[in-house]
Structure 1
């Protein structure tokens, strides 16, 4: 039996839950009997059936004696749904092939042990790296209760995010702009600084033609400068909107709240509002992942605070020249060896643009 082949199919299924299961993990499952797939399923929506139970429900034949391939270790605790280990045991499945172990302390190897205690053969680590990569957001959130942050920006080949006059529409091609909305669907939150709201008056929603979820809009606004007539405020009763501020002006705060905005009070540090404390508070709100679409100032503060996990750079084959803005500003560094280093994980071509995906390597951990 080709374990990797069936696990690849389970990974494909898991991805179908993107944007709908947070803060739960993406999970796919395939049930095979006599080398024939008899059932498939994935975790489709938060609070609903898990992948294993969906696969069992969808079986065209009895799963008794079959093998189930699941991208993540089956859960063994009662949450919004019963444990998947119970469903596997009750349906007589004889073999379980697991991609990645669950880092959730409520599971973390216990699911595998329960299955083995019931005489079920369990194989772990099949396409483990691919299965783990499915849930980078979940893994950080479940262990640290902080959002996984992806910094995204579009720039020219000479590193500009705008012209000398501040104009940026459009640097990248239409295909790249659509990919940004795919990212907005993947992550629960989208964060910008108040300067972006003032300059561009963006909606910050997801505009895909396919079923999708709109992200929670997070505005970093130290002194409550977000215009009350801005799109984000005027549509706050439709799209969840958070204003993170250090202001204690009760009259102004109440005006935003009346529009439907949620106010999150955050103390200040030398960079503005304390982004690490903000991440803790957003984690408490259940936001497990954030797309950071900030300008150079907010991007610099986020990197200095060590809250950024990934950087997605959309690079267009254009040159602006001049003194246009760059993706990260601030005081900069004196020596090249002081740079924040990135590990490139993928480079892809989107239309005429390049998308470079990288993980951030900090020289020391943030306390």
Structure 2
């Protein structure tokens, strides 16, 4: 078992098989010599049906042999289910389980599960501590060590957030073998964003690890976390690059047709300068990421963007743009007016909508 530097104050461990062997032991270590024979320890494990179906029995055994009482709380996976309804369900079951400050909340799943569990843990008044056990590359690279947990509302992305404080994160590459194909791009896109902003070498590393079993992910994730920390120190707003357009793509389809990673990959492709797109397209081909929108017209997404700005959900939003000054390229943060922002996003949308349905007329969209 190795330690990772995820740029948080919590413990972060990685290693093949560690999640099923060391999480319960880590919990017991936090009590030192405290006598818990009367009170006992409880652990509420929050997961989705797929992950729990594959792994819960093996994961739960470590708690049973250490006399830690557990309960499994299942939530629906996917961005379309990352909402307050799911959080309310979790809080209700946490309350019924009777957690207190001796106890633990464990998120066991991908990014949506970790957001839901982290949100519930932050709102819970039990005082229970929080552990994240991510099972996808995206949640290993970003969600599990994020400062906040986010929820969606209807077709709107990340409309609500709370601060989260993890006690520990356990990253086990064993779980990557059963990630559904649709969700694999989520991790790729996040790392491509870090590469474009801070470390181009990550692109080569990403291609290399995409074809491997990721039995040793420590070196790669340390590099990912280092890039993310460098971006965060420069300006946290840079970490939103690509969201300006990807949120509209996801929201238009209500998080169904395009995964979070596919939408972000499309937006990043449209954001980079024209001279960089051929090389990025070659990388996308190797990673099986899309470079153009399918089954939707240009005007459909454009109208979704206009609606976002009209109703205030995207108004006054800063936009990350590439610009060249004295022949040197850099990423800059713009604060455009709503009309200027829509003009920027319209230009980007044209790049990825070229092979989609024909551009609809206003009458077609009526």
Q: TM-score, normalised by structure 1?
A: 0.30
Greater helix proportion = 2
Q: TM-score, normalised by structure 2?
A: 0.31
Larger C-alpha radius of gyration, 1 or 2? 1
Greater strand proportion = 1
